Structure 1
Amino acid sequence: MDERERALDTAHRRATEFLGTLDDRPVWPRASLDEMLEVFSRPLPEHGMDAAAVVEEMALYAGPGLVAIPGGRFFGFVIGGTHPAALAADWLVSAWDQNSGSSMLTPATVAMERVAGQWMLELFGLPESASVGFVTGGQLANYTCLATARTAVLARAGWDLAEQGLRSAPQVRFVVGADRHGSVDRAARFLGIGRTEFTVIDSDDQGRMRADALEQALDAEDGPLIVCLQAGEVHTGAFDDFNTLIPIARRHDAWVHIDGAFGLWAAASASLRHLTAGIEGANSWATDAHKTLNVPYDCGMAIVRDPADSIAAFRTGGDYLIYSGLDPWDVTPELSRRARGVPAWAAMRALGRDGIAGLIEGLHANAVAMAAGLSFIDGVEVLNDVDYTQVMFCLGSDEATRALGEAILADGTAAVTGAQWRGRTALRCSMSSWATTGDDIDRTLAAFRRLIEA
C-alpha cells in the first residue's frame, strides 16, 4: 500500500476499535484539557513521519479525552449519535474532497445536497420551492435565516442594505420569546442587534410564547419587524403555538423565523406532527441534522421560503466564478465548503420515510421511559411535560442536584448536563441518539438511583 492507503487503513481500524468500546467505556472524558495538552503539546518536529504512524499516534493518545457521543448513554446538551450510513458517507466526503459551493464545479455532491433538501421540505411540510442552505449547525442556520430576514424587511421599508448599509437604516424590531435559545441572541449580535433592542415576549411554564403578550407588544410599535418563534425549547422540549402566533405576526407584516434546531423533525412523525402544526406559515426555519437525523458534525440547514430573499442577502460577485441558477453559495455565507449535506442524504436514503419517523418516535419513547423511571426514584422531581425528547429533573435542593450532576459524570455510566429553570438548578436528559436502547435507559436509571442513595 502507498502512504495514503496505509493511513486510511489505520484510521479504519482505529475507528472501528473506538466504536467497539462504546458499550463499556466511560461516557464522559477521563482526562482534562490540560492533561490532553500535556500529551499533545510538543515542539513542531523538524522532520515529518509516515501518515499511518501519525494516525496511530492520534488514536493511541486521544482516548482518555474523547466523549462517547456515538454511544447510547450520552444525554448531554442536544447532540445526536451518528447513523452508520451517514458516518460512512462522511468518510467518502473527505476522500472526494469536493468544494461544494458551486453546482458547476461539483455537480454530484451538490445534487445529493439538493435532493436531501427537497426530502427535508417534504418531511417538514414546507414549500417545495424554498431554498435549503447547508451550514455548520443550528447557530449558523439561525444567523443565515436572520441575516436574510433583515435584508428582506429593510427592503420592504424601501431600504437597500447592500447599497446603503446599516448606518442610517430604519431600526428593525426584533421580537423573541423569553425562553429562546442563546444562539438567537448570538445571531442577532452578529447582525448588529443588541439585547437592549429586543422586544422580549413572556412565556408560559413550559417556555411557550404567550399569544396575548405577543399581540400586545406588536400593537405598540411600527416598523420593519422580525418575530422569532421556537420549535423545541432546549430544556422542556416545548413548541410554540404556531397556528396562533404566526397569524398575529402576519397581521403586523412581520418576517416570522422558527428556530427548530431539533424540534422541526417532529413533523416527520405522524404521532408527533401536531407539535409543529402551522410551521408552514413562517418565512424561514433553522434546523440541525446532527441533533436529530444523526449525521456527523457539522450539518445545519437554513431554510428560506423565497430563494430570492436568500440571493439578495448572500449572492456574491467575481468574474471568475461560474453561476448556474441557484448555487449553494447563493443561500449561505460561505463560498468554499465541504459537502456537509451528503451524509444527510445518505441517512435519509438509508432510513426512508418510515425509518425517519421511527427514529423520531423512538427518541420520544426513550424520553417518556426516562421520565417514568426517574419519577419512581425517591427525591427526584421531573420538571417538564415530556411532549418530545427532553427530560428535565431535580432533587430537593440546588446543591443536591449539582452534586448528582457531578457524580454521574464522574461515575461514567451516562452523561447529562445542567440547566437553570424558573430559578431552580436542574439536570437535563436529551434523547438524541439512534443508538440509545432500553438497556441504556435502565443502566442510567440504576446509576442515578445508586448515586442518590449513596
Structure 2
Amino acid sequence: MSDPLNERDRAADALEMVAGAARAYLDSLATRPVHDHAADGLLDLLDGELSERGEGTLDSVERLLRVGTGAATHSSGPRFFHFIVGGSTPAAQAGDWVTSLLDQASGLWLTSPLASRAETVVLRWLKDLFGLPASYGGVLTPSATFANLTGLACARQWWGERHGADVTADGLAGLPRMPVLAGGYIHPSSRKALQLLGCGRDSVRVLTRDDAGRADVAAMDRALAEIGGPAVIVANAGEVNSGDFDPIGELAELAERHGAWLHVDGAFGLFAAASPRLSHLVAGVERAHSVTADGHKWLNVPYESGFAFVRDPALLGRAFGAWGAPYLPAADDEHINYNCLGPESSRRARALPIWATLRAYGRQGYREMVERHHDLALRLGAAVEEAPDLELLAPVRLCVVCFRYRPPGVPEERLDELNRWIGERLVADGRVYAGTTTYRGMTALRPAIVNWRTTETDIDLLLQVIREIAAETLTRHR
C-alpha cells in the first residue's frame, strides 16, 4: 500500500463513502444528543502505533467516519447553545466540500484566480449585508481572533505613523505604549491580538459605569483629552455573557472628536445589521476604522472563518505586505494578493463556502434567520421571567439569554454552587449543551442561539432539561 500513488483510483471511492454516511448523520442531528458520552470509548480506535505500510484509504476513512459520527460533539446540530457556535448551512457545507476537493492556495492570484476572485466577491457581499461602505478594504481570516489581530495591526500601523514610525518594518522599540481604551465588554480575543502585536494583553484601559461592564463614555472622553494624541478605542458589538452592545455611535463621535481609531469587534453581534428590526444595535458601525466578525458563528459556515474590514484599504498592505521575497508578486502587482493583506501566507479558499451560502440564501435569508433566532431568545427569556424558580439577569438584546436557577428558599450564598452544578450536569447529560459564566459576580447560564437548525422545539427542550437537572440538583444539595 504505502505510497498514496498506489491508491489513486480510491480517491473518488473515499469521497463517496463520506457522502454515503452524510445523509444518515445529518438526518439524525435533529434528535440526537449533542454529545453521547457513552460513545467516548470509540476514541480509543483513533489511537495505536503508526502503521509501517498504512492501512489503506477506504479502511482509514471508514474508521474515521465510525468514530467521528459516534463520538463527535454534534455542535452542528440545533441544540448546541454553549459558547456562541453556529452550524453549517447546506450550501456552506457543500461549498466546504468543494473547497477541499479543489484544494486551492488562495493567498495569491497567481496560484488561484478562482479563490482570489471569490474572496473579492464575498467581501463585497458581506459589506453589503452589514451596511459597511463599499470603499472599505477587507480580508478573510480563520477566526474573529485573527480578524481582531488584522484590524488592530492596522490600528497599530496607523498609530505608529502618527509618531513618524513604520512599526511593520521597525517594530515598537523607542515608541510610547499605544493607548487602548475599552468598556468592560472587551473580549479576550482582542486582548490576545494586542498581546501578539506586542502592545500588551493587559495594556487596555477599561472604563465602565457599572458592574455589568457598560462603557463609561464620559470617562473615555476625559481620558482621550488627557492622552492628547492618537489612541485606539475597542468597541464590542455583542457581549458574550448577555449579548449587550457598546454604544458604537457615541464611541464613533469620540473617535472623530479626538482623532482616535475605532475598532469594532462584532464577532456575532455585527449580524444585527442584517435585520431592520435589530440594526439600531450597531448604529454607527459604518464610521469605524476597523470592523471584524466571525463566519462560523451566525453566518453558519464551517470552521474556520472570520473577516476583517478596514476603512483605509492601503493600511492592510502596509501592515501585512511588502514581503520582499523575489518569488512572490511585487507590492504593485495588478491583481489582489490576499496574503499581503492579512496575517496568513498559506490560506485555504475559505471564500467558497461563504460564496455558496450567501448566493443560496441572500440578504433575506440571513435577515429571516437572525430575526427567528432573536424571537427564540425572546421566547426563552419570557419563559424564564414567568418561572418562579428562574431569574433573568440581563435583558435579551439579541440572541443570548443570561439567567440562573433561583428556587424559593435557597439562600443567596448557595446559588452560585447550585448553578455551577447545573451547568456541569447539562454537559454531562448531553441532550443539550449550555455552559455557565460569571455575570455581575453571579454564576449564570447563558445559552446562545445562532444555529440555523434551531427551532422552538429545541428551546423548549433546553428549558425542560434544565428543569429536570435543577430538580435533581436541588434534591442533592438539600
TM-score (norm 1): 0.96
Is 2:326 the partner of 1:319?
A: yes
Is 2:25 the partner of 1:15?
A: no
Greater CA drift, 187-196 or 95-104: 187-196
Matches within 5 A, 1:18-417: 18-30=25-37, 38-204=44-210, 206-315=212-321, 316-322=323-329, 323-396=333-406, 397-417=415-435
Gaps of 5+ in 1: none
| Cα distance in 1 between the residues matched to 2:66 and 2:282 | 45
| Cα distance in 2 between the residues matched to 1:167 and 1:44 | 47
Instruction: Tell me which amino acid in the other structure corresponds to 2:338.
Output: P
Q: Where does residue 453 of structure 1 map in the other structure?
A: 471
Instruction: Tell me which amino acid in the other structure corresponds to 1:423.
Output: G
| Cα distance in 2 between the residues matched to 1:436 and 1:189 | 36
Contact 1:382-1:393 at 8 Å conserved across structures: yes
Contact 2:141-2:342 at 8 Å conserved across structures: yes
3-state SS of paired residue (2:446):
strand
Deviations 1:368-402 (A, max 9, x none): 11112223333211111111011011123011111
Deviation at 1:64, TM superposition (A): 4.3
Deviations 1:298-351 (A, max 9, x none): 110011111101100001222212333432112111122111121111111111
Q: Where does residue 431 of structure 1 map in the other structure?
A: 449
| Cα distance in 1 between the residues matched to 2:198 and 2:71 | 37
Number of matched pairs: 453
| Cα distance in 2 between the residues matched to 1:451 and 1:118 | 47
Gaps of 5+ in 2: 1-7, 407-414, 473-478
Q: CA 1:203–1:238 in 2, change beyond 3 Å: closer, same or farther?
A: farther
Contact 1:171-1:224 at 8 Å conserved across structures: no
3-state SS of paired residue (2:227):
coil
Contact 1:256-1:283 at 8 Å conserved across structures: yes
Q: CA 1:298–1:399 in 2, change beyond 3 Å: closer, same or farther?
A: same
Q: CA 1:157–1:24 in 2, change beyond 3 Å: closer, same or farther?
A: same
Instruction: Tell me which amino acid in the other structure corresponds to 1:433.
Output: N
Contact 2:116-2:336 at 8 Å conserved across structures: no
Deviation at 1:222, TM superposition (A): 3.0
Instruction: Tell me which amino acid in the other structure corresponds to 1:324.
Output: E
3-state SS of paired residue (2:401):
strand
RMSD of the alignment, in Å?
1.8
Q: CA 1:196–1:3 in 2, change beyond 3 Å: closer, same or farther?
A: closer
| Cα distance in 2 between the residues matched to 1:127 and 1:156 | 24
Contact 1:207-1:233 at 8 Å conserved across structures: no
3-state SS of paired residue (1:290):
coil
3-state SS of paired residue (1:78):
coil
| Cα distance in 2 between the residues matched to 1:176 and 1:134 | 25
Give me the identity figure in percent: 38
Contact 1:80-1:290 at 8 Å conserved across structures: yes
| Cα distance in 1 between the residues matched to 2:383 and 2:335 | 53
TM-score (norm 2): 0.91
Deviations 1:168-217 (A, max 9, x none): 12321111222211111111111112244321111446543121121122
Deviation at 1:23, TM superposition (A): 2.5
Deviation at 1:114, TM superposition (A): 1.0
Q: CA 1:354–1:329 in 2, change beyond 3 Å: closer, same or farther?
A: same
Deviation at 1:15, TM superposition (A): 2.7
3-state SS of paired residue (1:257):
strand
Instruction: Tell me which amino acid in the other structure corresponds to 1:178.
Output: G
| Cα distance in 2 between the residues matched to 1:387 and 1:44 | 51
Deviation at 1:70, TM superposition (A): 1.3
